[in-house]
């Protein structure tokens, strides 16, 4: 459940300072028609933010249209955006209404706008400046009233400097600028995000709610999440399906996540002391720390049952007791 200090707007949820700042800006800009540029890594929720802007605006009852610029060739994207006249090119057997016409009076989202070709950038600039365009093969200007939101995982300023993105178009799009933080920079939002995603999975699959163990939550909070919230959603869906009981444990997550976390933990913990130069000594320290960490986690999973823990570790109970005394874990 979201706390009184948390925010939630159209699936964008959290209690971190960074996500609160984003939500505060969203509420301010939604009622206006200004163009918005949303930058952020893949999976950070750029489409969620765009939807929040649209549904918080006077255009909320009109069309919300999104197109991924990297998913089409130049000619196909042009036809999708502007539509075409019958016979304007091979295969154009009928007149087609473009997405701009469909989105008239609504909101249009350019996802991955940094991948748009130079030729299409010029045509988009005209739509922004004059509110008109021509169909492919057409001669009659068509007027549209659109709010434009652009999203990208690239730095458009860098693309402008490299000559890969028009400077005038950049400034037209960048009236309001939002940068979404990666998940690794707002890990305090993890518990709320997990609860929100688990609840959604349970509702979608018509299954009872499941809990997440402390070890599983710690595993998620220690991981770097290069795929951001989208990767978190995928991992939780996997864990939700694979967990047979009502509790999600670390072993229900993908081997990649668990192994990456283990390597990260080892890198943090097992730095050789300044007075240790021997490779043999360093190896002994690494092995000892690894054993301590593994024994601790297995004992937590078995709720302190040493017989079960020894079985999980594939050692005798006597050997486990010896190691507990050796590592002063008794």
Mind listing the pLDDT tens digit for each residue in 126-145? 999 999 998 888 788 999 99
Distance of alpha carbon 328 from alpha carbon 126, whole angstroms: 72
Q: In CATH terms, are 7-181 and 185-268 the same topology?
A: no
Instruction: Looking at the structure, give the CATH architecture of the domain made up of residues 7-181.
Output: 3-Layer(aba) Sandwich (3.40)
Biggest CA–CA distance in the chain, Å, is 88
Helix ranges (H only) for the chain are: 17-29, 46-55, 74-82, 99-102, 118-130, 156-161, 167-173, 190-205, 214-222, 228-242, 255-269, 279-301, 306-313, 317-326
* Residue among 28, 27, 26, 23 at smallest CA distance from 13: 23
For position 288, what pLDDT does the model report? 74
For position 1, what pLDDT does the model report? 47
Look up tokens 């951001």; give the residue. 228
CATH number, domain 185-268, options 1.10.1060.10, 1.10.260.40, 3.90.650.10, 1.10.8.60: 1.10.8.60
For position 182, what pLDDT does the model report? 95
Q: Are 148 and 175 in contact (CB under 8 A)?
A: no
Q: Domain residue spans in the chain?
A: 7-181, 185-268, 270-330
10-residue mean pLDDT profile of the chain (330 residues): values are 63 90 94 96 94 96 96 89 78 82 96 94 94 87 96 95 96 96 95 95 95 94 92 96 94 88 58 54 68 81 84 87 80
For position 87, what pLDDT does the model report? 63
For position 56, what pLDDT does the model report? 94
Q: Report how far apart, in Å, the C-alpha atoms of 327 and of each of 1, 171, 271, 274, 330 are.
A: 40, 61, 18, 21, 8
Distance of alpha carbon 108 from alpha carbon 150, whole angstroms: 8
| pTM score | 0.76
Q: Domain 270-330: which CATH class?
A: mainly alpha
For position 286, what pLDDT does the model report? 66
**Using one digit for the tens of pLDDT, what is the confidence trace for 268-313?**
554 545 555 555 665 666 677 778 878 887 887 787 888 888 888 8
For position 69, what pLDDT does the model report? 94
């Amino acid at each position: 459940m979201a706390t009184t200090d948390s925010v939630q707007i159209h699936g964008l949820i959290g209690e971190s300072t960074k996500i609160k700042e984003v939500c505060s800006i969203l509420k301010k800009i939604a009622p206006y028609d200004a163009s918005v540029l949303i930058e952020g890594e893949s999976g950070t929720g750029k489409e969620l933010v765009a939807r929040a802007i649209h549904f918080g605006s006077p255009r909320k009852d009109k069309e919300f249209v999104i197109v991924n610029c990297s998913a089409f060739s130049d000619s196909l994207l042009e036809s999708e955006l502007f539509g075409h006249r019958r016979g304007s090119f091979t295969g154009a057997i009928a007149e087609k209404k473009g997405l701009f016409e469909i989105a008239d009076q609504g909101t249009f989202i350019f996802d991955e706008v940094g991948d748009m070709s130079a030729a299409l950038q010029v045509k988009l600039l005209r739509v922004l400046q004059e509110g008109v365009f021509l169909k492919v093969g057409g001669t009659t200007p068509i007027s549209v009233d659109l709010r434009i939101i652009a999203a990208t995982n690239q730095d458009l300023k860098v693309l402008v400097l490299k000559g890969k993105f028009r400077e005038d178009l950049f400034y037209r799009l960048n009236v309001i600028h939002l940068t979404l933080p990666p998940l690794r920079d707002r890990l305090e939002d993890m518990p709320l995000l997990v609860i929100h995603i688990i609840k959604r999975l349970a509702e979608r699959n018509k299954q009872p709610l499941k809990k997440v163990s402390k070890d599983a939550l710690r595993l998620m909070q220690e991981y770097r999440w290069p795929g951001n919230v989208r990767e978190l959603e995928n991992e939780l869906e996997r864990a939700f399906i694979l967990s047979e009981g009502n509790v999600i444990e670390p072993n229900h997550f993908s081997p990649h996540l668990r192994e990456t976390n283990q390597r990260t933990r080892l890198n943090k913990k097992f730095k050789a002391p300044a007075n240790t130069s021997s490779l043999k000594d360093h190896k002994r320290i690494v092995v000892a720390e690894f054993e301590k960490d593994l024994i601790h986690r297995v004992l937590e999973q078995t709720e302190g049952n040493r017989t079960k823990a020894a079985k999980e570790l594939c050692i005798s109970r006597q050997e486990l007791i010896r190691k507990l005394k050796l590592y002063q874990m008794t």
